[in-house]
Amino acid sequence: MNLNEILDLAPKNELIGDSIIITYSKLQRYKKILCSVSGGSDSDILLDLCQKYDNADKITYVFFDTGLEFTATKEHLEYLEHRYGIEIQRIKAIKPVPLCCKKYGQPFLSKQVSEWIERLQRHNFQWEDETFDVLTQRYPQCRAALRWWCNDFERRTEGRESSFNIGYNQYLKEFMIENPPKFRVSNKCCHYAKKLVAKHYKEQERFDLNMYGVRKAEGGARKSAYKTCFSSNEDGCDEYRPIFWYLSDTKNVYQEHYHIVNSRCYSEYGLKRTGCAGCPYSKNFEEELEAMQQHEPQLYKAVNNIFSDSYKYTRKYLNFVKTMKKKKAKGE
């Protein structure tokens, strides 16, 4: 269909209309386009949007397999291929998540927190409650990580703690002083299982545009990582996020209007995300584990083996936070 036909059939929604027009212009301008498909609900909208154009054949669809994926996600990829008459290439991880965790350490709480802890562990940090100046004398090669530990990064303008400071995660420093991690912490699983393999694939195939489905309204790291829907890169492969400005209501309107069917991870398992199964970064990892135990018991056993130390440490931290909040409420 041409642009006018697509707009005539679209719902009367400004954000959706804008995304249709801008995506059309990107497909006109770029010659070799990569579209990353995750099997998640945002990715479903992205794929449906791309397939509305006559020149969609210039798009290569790719799924980056981390080595720890839901069976329901793999089944959903097959459904998408059948519905749209496309092929979604499956690209294996350079180092799958299980191997990364065994070799480098397990993720804990967030990518950023894991990065700082890994740096400190590398230099045998003893989790001392000392000033930044004192600690930099003892650990001169850990200045950035020590700034995190000492809450040395400048606070946000609203007065809130910077996300670069350990104080951003309530009572985490107090917890770690009392309960130093006895296992290796690392965020390298994300790097080797997804980021690096995606980078190599883009360079190898010489794409000039990479499209993926992220929304600013999701919050978290994505809210601050991207400022707009488009990024121009010096490596020759620009980035475009077609549904970046979609709100939750916008997303619902699109799904209902175009009859988008999501993965069973949502409809049957009751999950709020897909992606790497059982990831300790997820705020809802306990709910994910319950769903896995019921629907994918083999995967449940696998993630409990791979992330066992991180799960235990996270639960201990969350209980510590509850205890500290109760003490504060009582004025202790």
Domain extents in the chain: 3-99+190-265, 109-180
**230-231 and 59-65 beta bridge pairing:** unpaired
What pLDDT score does 56 carry?
A: 84
What pLDDT score does 318 carry?
A: 97
What pLDDT score does 221 carry?
A: 62
* pLDDT, tens digit, 9 for 90 and up, residues 232-244: 988 889 999 999 9
CA distance 185 to 105: 5
CA distance 49 to 46: 5
Contact 61, 35 (CB under 8 A): yes
What pLDDT score does 55 carry?
A: 83
Contact 211, 48 (CB under 8 A): no
Confidence of residue 222 (pLDDT cuts 50, 70, 90): low
- Looking at residue 193, what DSSP letter applies? I
Greater pLDDT, 277 or 225:
277
Residues with Cβ < 8 Å from 84, sequence gap 6 or more?
47, 48, 51
* pLDDT, tens digit, 9 for 90 and up, residues 283-315: 899 999 999 999 999 999 999 999 999 999 999
Q: What is the mean pLDDT of residues 120-145?
A: 97
Burial of 202 (0-12, 13-18, 19+ CB in 10 A): buried
Q: What is the mean pLDDT of residues 254-273?
A: 96
Give the SS3 label for residue 230.
Answer: strand
What pLDDT score does 234 carry?
A: 84
- Among residues 198, 213, 205, the alpha carbon closest in space to that of 23 is found at 213
pLDDT over 60 at 157, yes or no: no
Percent of the chain with pLDDT over 90: 87
Which range (66-80, 95-109, 218-232, 237-251) has the least confidence? 218-232
pLDDT over 70 at 76, yes or no: yes
Residue 281 has which token pair?
A: 């970064």
What pLDDT score does 159 carry?
A: 63
Give the SS3 label for residue 144.
Answer: helix
Residue 84 has which token pair?
A: 């749209």
Burial of 4 (0-12, 13-18, 19+ CB in 10 A): exposed
Measured in residues, the chain has a length of: 332
Confidence of residue 62 (pLDDT cuts 50, 70, 90): very high
* pLDDT, tens digit, 9 for 90 and up, residues 162-182: 889 999 999 999 999 999 999
Domain 3-99+190-265 adopts which CATH fold? Rossmann fold (3.40.50)
pTM for this prediction: 0.90
Confidence of residue 161 (pLDDT cuts 50, 70, 90): confident
pLDDT over 90 at 81, yes or no: yes
What pLDDT score does 18 carry?
A: 97
* Average confidence score pLDDT of the chain: 94
Amino acid at 319: N
Report residue 20: phi and psi, to 5°: -65, -45
Q: What is the mean pLDDT of residues 35-53?
A: 96
Report residue 106: phi and psi, to 5°: -100, 145
What pLDDT score does 160 carry?
A: 73
What is the largest distance, in Å, between two alpha-carbon atoms of the chain? Answer: 67
pLDDT over 80 at 107, yes or no: yes
In Å, what is the CA distance from 306 to each residue of 8, 113, 196? 50, 19, 21
- Among residues 163, 71, 49, the alpha carbon closest in space to that of 113 is found at 163
